[in-house]
Amino acid sequence: MNYISSVLMGILQGVAEFLPISSSGHLALFQHFFGVENYEETQMFFTVLLHLGTLISVFVYYWQDIWEMIREFFLLVGGLFSRRDSQTQSAPPPARRMVLLIIVATLPLFIILPIKDRVEAAMGNVTFVSVALLLTGFILYFSDRMAKGRKTERTATLMDAVLVGFAQAFGTLPGISRSGITISAGLLRGYDRAFAVRFSFLMSLPAVLGANILTLKDVLEAGSIDMGLMPVYLVGALVAAVVGYFAIRLVNLLSDKGKFGAFAYYCWAAGAVALVAGFLVK
């Protein structure tokens, strides 16, 4: 591990984590065709820091939403013990409804836990990843052609959140873009385009944070942190944060203009090339 590879991994993490092109799918293909080191296995602490970098970019971009959600979460907990709060407030604030929607949308991820090993094993199947990328392309292509919805956190239902949550669970498969499928699922449920993107990125926070906590636990138990490489790790995390911030801006811009189709063509090209190369290079 050196500074060059750290920067490159930071760029890949920042771009692929938010652009609807599947970061796990690209990592799997790079490992197979170019012999790229599997940092998720050999440099687990570095992987945690890379994800922390992209988490920071979400916090920075949506800091106002997150602050309001944290505030409303504690007010919600306090309101459970206050009869007066439930009697005087006719409708919950938008930020409080957002908290409830995200909690509900996170629940389907628990379905993946029993089959987590099988999902991770799919990373080594180039054909599976290639077909999944092609499927992601179709998902993105048709999301551009959905009628513009009007639902926001004020009007979205718990059923909407559950279905988007199931899309997020499906997005754990390598080659399926988490952001692409959750944004598309939101649009299918009638979400406003800006809200669909915002909800997709905000709902990723508990999922990514929870996964990183579990990974960090394994790292600490294994005692595999090389403190000498800490400066190299931090550079990669910083690059991931900066690149991730601008990737979020780009997704918001393209979604607002209904131009997710551009990513669909890329996913089709990448999936098709990988599928053909997978049959030829055996």
**DSSP letters for 144-192:** TTSPP--B-TTT--HHHHHHHHHHHHHTTSTTS-HHHHHHHHHHHTTB-
Amino acid at residue number 220: L
Chain segment 196-216, per-residue pLDDT in tens: 999 999 999 998 888 788 777
Chain segment 81-118, per-residue pLDDT in tens: 665 554 455 677 889 899 999 999 999 999 988 888 88
CA distances from 153 to 86, 108, 114, 130, 274 (A): 20, 19, 31, 35, 39
Alpha carbon dihedral 182, 68, 257, 54, in 10-degree steps, equals: -60
Residue with tokens 């550079």: 235
Q: Which two tokens stand for residue 142?
A: 């048709």
Q: Which of 61-75, 121-135, 138-152 has the lowest mean pLDDT?
A: 138-152
Q: What is the DSSP letter of 147?
A: P
What is the rounded CA–CA span in Å between residue 187 and residue 196? 6
Instruction: Give exposure, 137-166, as e/b (b: 16+ Cβ within 10 Å).
Output: bebbbebbebeebebbbeebeeebbbbbbb
Domain of 132 in residue numbering reads as 3-280
Q: Residue 146: its pLDDT value, please?
A: 78
Q: Residue 31: its pLDDT value, please?
A: 78
What is the rounded CA–CA span in Å between residue 118 and residue 65? 35
- Determine the 3-state secondary structure of 223 from DSSP: coil
Q: Is-contact 105 168, C-beta < 8 A?
A: yes
Q: Which two tokens stand for residue 145?
A: 């052609």
Amino acid at residue number 180: G
Residue with tokens 């984590």: 17
Q: Is-contact 260 143, C-beta < 8 A?
A: yes
CA distances from 121 to 83, 90, 207 (A): 50, 49, 20
Q: Residue 65: its pLDDT value, please?
A: 94
Q: Which of 28-32, 173-177, 182-186 has the lowest mean pLDDT?
A: 28-32
What is the rounded CA–CA span in Å between residue 107 and residue 103? 7
Task: Give me the mean pLDDT over the 251-268 stretch.
Answer: 86
Amino acid at residue number 89: Q
The alpha-helical segments, DSSP class H, found in 19-62 are 23-34, 39-42, 44-61
Q: What is the pTM of this model?
A: 0.88
Q: Residue 218: its pLDDT value, please?
A: 76
Number of domains in the chain: 1
Rg from Cα positions in the chain: 19
Residue 93 or residue 42, greater confidence? 93
Encode 66-132 in three state secondary structure: HHHHHHHHHHHHHHCCCHHHHHHCCCCCHHHHHHHHHHHHHHHHHHCHHHHHHHHHHHHCHHHHHHH
